[in-house]
Amino acid sequence: MLLVLLLTGTGLFMVASAGEVWGQFNYGNSFYFVERQALFAGVGLIAMSFFAKLPYLFWKQYASVGLAAAFLLLIAVLIPGIGMVRNGSQSWIGVGALSFQPSEWMKMALVFYLAAILSERKKVIHLFWKGLFTPLVTIGAAFGFIMLQPDLGTAAVMGGTAFLLLFSAGAPIRFFATIGALAISGLVLLIASAPYRIKRITAYLDPWSDPLGSGFQIIQSLYAVGPGGLFGHGYGESRQKYYYLPEPQTDFIFAIWTEETGFLGALWVIILFFLLIWRGIYIAMRLDDPFGTLLVFGLTGMLSLQSFINLGVVTGLIPVTGVTLPFLSYGGSSLTMTLLLAGIVLSTSRHMR
């Protein structure tokens, strides 16, 4: 709980600084983003305290219902007039600040469902038709609906989390070799089918080949991260947030934080994530219930993958994808959902050996 509170508090400080310029320019209020982030943090913390007291086996009982609801929401978001288009993706439902992403719900629902079904099939997990066929079909369907939006970043996090769960459940290694080859082939086809994805790959390999186009974001991000040095320019003193770096309060918030607080500030965030992930694994390995173990492994794995992808994008280690940094990036539905999931992990921790 302490780690979650520290990350959430750090995130509010980040959003307050990274979003002040865009908030003043677009809404006439430099505190626009942090005020809304604080509101959703409050809602999320209330949800976390509630779900921390709810028996975690509740999620096993209603895992199938939650998955069905997630699929219905993914279908609804694709219907014109219901789904909202932002940044080229039709992945939102709602009005203004009250909108949410059904894909966030699907990530959570899929973890619940896979933890429930795999915990019941541990003895047949090595058999394809009896143990793996149904989970694979479900993963493929969820991945396909999210790609129709399209949202490759969220789909990658969800798919990676699903395969971490299969590995934790004891699926044979030969299975991962086959699926891995198919997944790489599919990823290549997905990239080749969309020109903007090809541009992202070329920008990753050489951002200076198109510095004002596809390479612009990563170049500006490195201009923020590099000059931060050991101590940074000082809190609130970022230069890149003045309309140089797009989305400074969401996907690239870590770049602004590093520019202002330097290597030490970046290290603070990385250590907090490392400790949180370690604590999740610690809890999972001390639970006697297979469902609880897989549930915590899945939620911890999802947090790990999303954090790694975001930090990798910001520092130029992987191509640009639209993945936010858990607890820290601006986004009401994402923050609320992350805190809710933290409450579920806290609920399972009551049953540790």
pLDDT of residue 301: 94
pLDDT of residue 28: 87
Band of pLDDT at residue 172, cut at 50, 70 and 90: confident
pLDDT of residue 95: 63
pLDDT of residue 5: 96
Find the DSSP H helices in the chain: 2-18, 20-27, 32-53, 57-61, 63-76, 102-120, 133-147, 152-169, 173-193, 195-205, 216-225, 253-284, 290-314, 332-349
User: Cα angle vertex 253, ends 241, 106, to 5°?
Assistant: 140
DSSP assignment of 157-219 equals HHHHHHHHHHHHHT--HHHHHHHHHHHHHHHHHHHHH-HHHHHHHHHHH-GGGSTTTTTHHHH
Band of pLDDT at residue 155, cut at 50, 70 and 90: confident
Q: Is the pLDDT assigned to residue 226 strictly greater than 80? A: yes
Q: Is the pLDDT assigned to residue 38 strictly greater than 80? A: yes
CA 26/CA 212 separation, integer angstroms: 23
SS3 label, residue 278: helix
| 51-65 residues labelled b (16+ CB within 10 A) or e (exposed) | bbeeebeebbeebee
pLDDT of residue 99: 73
Most confidently modeled of 93-97, 165-169, 321-325?
165-169
SS3 label, residue 84: strand
Distance of CA 129 to the CA centre of its chain: 31
Band of pLDDT at residue 153, cut at 50, 70 and 90: confident
Q: Is the pLDDT assigned to residue 311 strictly greater than 90? A: yes
State whether the Cα torsion 32-33-36-42 is positive or negative.
negative
- Rounded average pLDDT over 69-98: 80
> Which residues, 6+ apart, have CB-to-CB distance to 3 below 8 Å?
272, 275, 276, 279
- Mean pLDDT for the chain overall: 88
Pairing of strands 89-93, 83-86: antiparallel
Locus of tokens 């991000």: 221
pLDDT of residue 183: 76
Q: Is the pLDDT assigned to residue 209 strictly greater than 90? A: no
